[in-house]
């Protein structure tokens, strides 16, 4: 579902935005911050028991008033992940300031104010209160951008949100993503405290480790020891987590590196690079080891693979 509006008439500075907000979320009152034309878009996916939305809009304030609540049947938390801009969230006399990568939580059964003082983008997760810990919304300060683990969690949440918004409604992928979103949000305080990962839940920590591997697979030093150091746990615990995937830490890392090498061996932009250069740039340190893994994966040695494909596409 999508909503989009622009301010056209002078007496309606927000166009249909108030109605769009009510349709997509709950009843809210938008108010202007600055004299500039307003425009905003909302994309929403209803997955399992939660709603995931992306909002892109000109800077403004929204209020949740007692008069709105009196006419509402909703009983959800809004958990917002700031993508761009800066948001100020005020509820029960408590203020949350959110920059890109940070989370904020508001309870829709009580009044609140959200002020985005710059043009902004965010993901909004509308989650029934019963699915999240009761203490989560008590004076929250969820600055995920402040720690490595928090930043990993933020990227993982954003990835799941994007996946759900792009997937077919009621698909197995979106339902899986929604459940994972709830698990991730539930464990945010423990992640920020850098408590032992056993308290954060295996699926949460594993997701963050896999995200870290995706972004650092080209680091020759990457392995179980690196993950243990980054996520404040033992190497034994890292191996225990990856055992649930059916692949070891090294197999995950080398699998990504082989994919990168395969792509670069096929890419004309890398045709002057030697096979050793391609392997080392992907994170391998031993060319013989790389050759064995590549042949096991593709059935051909890297040189034979490159030659066969350059012949097939007529470049040789």
Q: What is the pLDDT of residue 311?
A: 58
Report whether pLDDT(261) > 80. yes
Q: What is the pLDDT of residue 190?
A: 74
Q: What is the pLDDT of residue 316?
A: 47
Greatest extent of the chain over all pairs of C-alpha atoms, in Å: 73
Q: What is the pLDDT of residue 115?
A: 93
Report whether pLDDT(148) > 80. no
Convert the pLDDT of each residue in 6-48 to its tens digit: 867 667 888 899 999 999 999 999 998 877 889 999 999 988 7
Close Cβ partners of 17 (under 8 Å, ≥ 6 residues apart): 5, 30, 38, 40, 57
Convert the pLDDT of each residue in 196-222 to its tens digit: 455 455 766 787 788 888 888 999 999
Q: What is the pLDDT of residue 168?
A: 73
Domains of the chain: 2-147 (2.60.120.10), 195-316 (1.10.10.60)
In terms of average pLDDT, the best of 128-137, 234-243, 263-272 is 234-243
Residue 287 — pLDDT band, cuts 50, 70, 90? very high
Q: Name the residue among 2, 1, 68 with its Cα closest to residue 30.
A: 68
What is the pLDDT averaged over residues 135-162? 82
Convert the pLDDT of each residue in 94-123 to its tens digit: 898 888 889 999 999 999 999 998 899 999
Convert the pLDDT of each residue in 39-91 to its tens digit: 999 999 988 789 999 999 999 999 999 999 998 877 899 999 999 998 999 99
């Amino acid at each position: 579902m999508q909503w989009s509006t622009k301010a056209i008439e002078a007496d309606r500075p927000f166009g249909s935005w108030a109605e769009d907000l009510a349709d997509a979320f709950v009843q809210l009152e938008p108010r202007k911050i600055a004299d500039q034309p307003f425009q905003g878009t909302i994309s929403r996916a209803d997955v399992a028991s939660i709603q995931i939305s992306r909002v892109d809009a000109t800077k403004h304030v929204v209020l949740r008033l007692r008069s709105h609540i009196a006419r509402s049947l909703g009983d959800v938390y809004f958990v917002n992940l700031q993508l761009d801009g800066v948001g100020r969230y005020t509820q029960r006399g408590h203020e949350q300031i959110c920059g890109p990568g940070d989370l904020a939580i508001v309870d829709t059964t009580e009044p609140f104010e959200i002020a985005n003082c710059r043009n902004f983008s965010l993901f909004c997760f509308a989650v029934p209160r019963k699915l999240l810990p009761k203490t989560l919304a008590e004076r929250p300060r969820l600055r995920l951008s402040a720690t490595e683990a928090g930043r990993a969690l933020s990227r993982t949440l954003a990835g799941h949100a994007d996946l759900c918004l792009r997937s077919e409604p009621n698909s197995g992928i979106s339902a899986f993503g929604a459940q994972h979103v709830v698990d991730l949000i539930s464990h945010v305080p423990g992640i920020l405290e850098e408590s032992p990962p056993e308290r954060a839940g295996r699926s949460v920590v594993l997701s963050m480790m896999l995200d870290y591997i995706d972004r650092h697979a080209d680091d020759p030093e990457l392995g179980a020891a690196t993950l243990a150091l980054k996520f404040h746990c033992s190497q034994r615990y890292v191996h225990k987590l990856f055992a649930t995937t059916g692949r070891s830490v090294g197999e995950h890392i080398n699998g990504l590196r082989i994919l990168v090498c395969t792509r670069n061996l096929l890419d004309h932009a890398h045709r002057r690079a030697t096979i050793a250069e391609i392997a080392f740039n992907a994170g391998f340190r031993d060319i013989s080891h790389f050759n064995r893994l590549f042949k096991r994966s593709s059935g051909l040695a890297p040189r034979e693979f490159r030659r066969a494909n350059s012949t097939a596409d007529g470049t040789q």
